[in-house]
A = this chain, B = another copy of it.
Amino acid sequence: MSGLRRAAARAWGPPRALRAFSARPRDRIVETVGKLLQTKAQLETEEGKKNFILKTPKGTQDFSPKQMAIREKVFSTIINCFKRHGAEVIDTPVFELTETLTGKYGEDSKLIYDLKDQGGKEELGCFCMSGPAQARMYLQNHSSPSPLCSRKNRAYEGMVNDRRILSGVFAACGVPESKLQAACSTVDKLNKMTWEDVKNEMVGEKGLTPEAADLIGEYVKLHGGLDLVEQLLQDPRLSHNKLAGEGLRDMKLLFEYLMLFGIVDKISFDLSLARGLNYYTGVIYEAVLIQQQNDRVEELVDVGSVAGGGRYDGLVGMFDSKRQKVPCVGVSIGIERIFSIVNCKVKASKEKIRTTETQVLVAAPQKHFLAARLKLISELWDAGIKAEMLYRENPKLLKQLHYCEDTGIPLAAIIGEQELKDGVVKLRDVATRQEVDIPRQKLLEEIRRRLES
């Protein structure tokens, strides 16, 4: 059970809505459609027309074929990365019982989208994180967790830190245990606030001494690699702190692995990385989009952290009366942010996005060839070739060829009087406009050969 798997599951998981709502009897559909017809009647009144505005619910949106093509590309890149590393997939419902999320005595939270089930018996909530759902599923099923390893995409760099190192630093700087979490969430704001503001918050709001804050400032400004780890292992203030020692020794091991993976230059050990959630128990990390030369992305969208996560060995135990410790490591991917960036890139590059995967357009140069086209396209479909044809009875050849160019179909299989007589199909390469007659029985083979090359 791991956030990595969760992210993968989310990425190509099946439609949860379908799953949850697909079992309802048709009678109810009939009933509801009756109401839709009622609506129709109401819309026909003048007042109805004036007041009815079509829109999606707040916070949601529709996706066009072009947007979906981009999303699918991004998802498949992520999914393939997970699969390359041996990931399994799980899926949990889109909502959880509120008591799983906040506890039955807990208050509502703004983070949780409230839902009422039909019977009004269960409190439901949608949660923007996957950890609690996975913890529940794990405990319900006793499936054994296996660790997973994630790698950074070339376009991104990573920052790592360790909760224990941060705790050790705070303790070494004189922060009492009771103020540790508060101090931690203030440090987490360093990417948005100046050090002065962070210090003011620590001293003013969180009640740290100015001396402790200054000392913390010395540490959280540090970032580097294995050398920094070694330096801190020698630091007299930290050497007596058990947690910091454990964290630093694990960080050293991590950097040894990063070297073996050949990605040590992409990862920065950064003591300002805190991440707000106090359920982390060890390593924490974020993937950050860095400014690239000759790339207009930075001008277009506000980027930064695009993924983050860490180790949270205590989460499962929170839901378990035996409080067993279960090793968990996870990552959440800021998928909407990545989509925005890719969208901007696509717009800036004026790259043409295909919204279908069609390989062949079946076309005819003369009238009355609908039957011939249907027969040919059926042969292609049966052979597993992705094919389309224009559904009009007698489309103009030029219109058919333009359709190929507009939608990016690479090949056209043209069948007309002469071709039918000669037992051939004219195969056209849409890009080069070259046409060759291919014997009908060799057509599938020739199409496959061209698609492979």
Neighbour of A28 across the interface among B110, B122, B257, CB < 8 A: B110
Neighbour of A60 across the interface among B19, B188, B375, CB < 8 A: B19
- Residue-wise, chain A 332-363 has the 8 Å CB interface mask toward B (1 for contact) of 00111000000000000000000111100000
Q: Kindly identify, within residues 67 to 96 of chain A, every residue whose CB is under 8 Å from any CB belonging to chain B.
A: 68-69, 71-72, 75, 83-96
A15–chain B nearest beta-carbon distance, Å: 4
Which of the candidate stretches A30-38, A161-169, A221-229 sits at the interface with the other chain? A30-38
For A256, the chain B residues whose CB sits under 8 A away are 371
A126 within 8 Å of B (CB atoms):
yes
By beta carbon, the residue of chain B nearest A105 is B42
Question: Contact: B260 with A388, CB < 8 Å?
Answer: no
By beta carbon, the residue of chain B nearest A128 is B21
Distance in angstroms between the alpha carbons of A139 and B49 in the assembled complex: 14
Question: Contact: B276 with A62, CB < 8 Å?
Answer: no
Neighbour of A88 across the interface among B97, B119, B356, CB < 8 A: B356
A236 within 8 Å of B (CB atoms):
no
Which of the candidate stretches A207-215, A294-302, A378-386 sits at the interface with the other chain? A378-386
A299–chain B nearest beta-carbon distance, Å: 22
List, sorted by A's number, 11 A–B pairs whose CB atoms are closer than 8 Å.
A16-B16, A29-B277, A34-B278, A38-B105, A54-B100, A57-B93, A62-B90, A62-B93, A69-B89, A87-B356, A89-B355
Q: Kindly identify, within residues 151 to 180 of chain A, every residue whose CB is under 8 Å from any CB belonging to chain B.
A: 151
Distance in angstroms between the alpha carbons of A104 and B51 in the assembled complex: 9
A442 within 8 Å of B (CB atoms):
no
- Residue-wise, chain A 104-146 has the 8 Å CB interface mask toward B (1 for contact) of 1111011111111111011010111100100011011101001
For A15, the chain B residues whose CB sits under 8 A away are 10-11, 13, 16, 94, 335
Question: Contact: A107 with B378, CB < 8 Å?
Answer: no
A364 within 8 Å of B (CB atoms):
no
Question: Contact: B137 with A27, CB < 8 Å?
Answer: no
A387 within 8 Å of B (CB atoms):
yes
A185 within 8 Å of B (CB atoms):
yes
Distance in angstroms between the alpha carbons of A324 and B105 in the assembled complex: 53
Question: Contact: B29 with A381, CB < 8 Å?
Answer: no
By beta carbon, the residue of chain B nearest A388 is B86
A72–chain B nearest beta-carbon distance, Å: 7
| 16 additional contacts (CB under 8 A) given A22-B334, A30-B276, A71-B91 | A10-B18, A13-B68, A14-B75, A14-B335, A22-B335, A29-B277, A32-B127, A35-B103, A37-B279, A38-B105, A54-B319, A68-B88, A85-B381, A94-B94, A147-B391, A257-B374
Q: A115-B115, A276-B26 are in contact. Are A65 and B90 (CB under 8 A)?
A: yes
A324–chain B nearest beta-carbon distance, Å: 13
Q: Kindly identify, within residues 39 to 60 of chain A, every residue whose CB is under 8 Å from any CB belonging to chain B.
A: 39-40, 42-44, 49, 51-52, 54-60
> What band does the interface of chain A fall in when counting residues whose beta carbon is under 8 Å from B?
35 or more
Q: A33-B277, A54-B100 are in contact. Are A20 and B117 (CB under 8 A)?
A: no
Question: Contact: A32 with B94, CB < 8 Å?
Answer: no
A397 within 8 Å of B (CB atoms):
no
A61 within 8 Å of B (CB atoms):
yes
For A27, the chain B residues whose CB sits under 8 A away are 276
Question: Contact: B114 with A116, CB < 8 Å?
Answer: yes
A263–chain B nearest beta-carbon distance, Å: 8
For A91, the chain B residues whose CB sits under 8 A away are 62-63, 68, 71
A17 within 8 Å of B (CB atoms):
yes
For A139, the chain B residues whose CB sits under 8 A away are 54
By beta carbon, the residue of chain B nearest A84 is B386
Question: Contact: A101 with B59, CB < 8 Å?
Answer: no
Question: Contact: B75 with A16, CB < 8 Å?
Answer: no
Distance in angstroms between the alpha carbons of A210 and B353 in the assembled complex: 61
A405 within 8 Å of B (CB atoms):
no
A99–chain B nearest beta-carbon distance, Å: 7
Question: Contact: B260 with A36, CB < 8 Å?
Answer: no
A24 within 8 Å of B (CB atoms):
yes
Question: Contact: A106 with B20, CB < 8 Å?
Answer: no
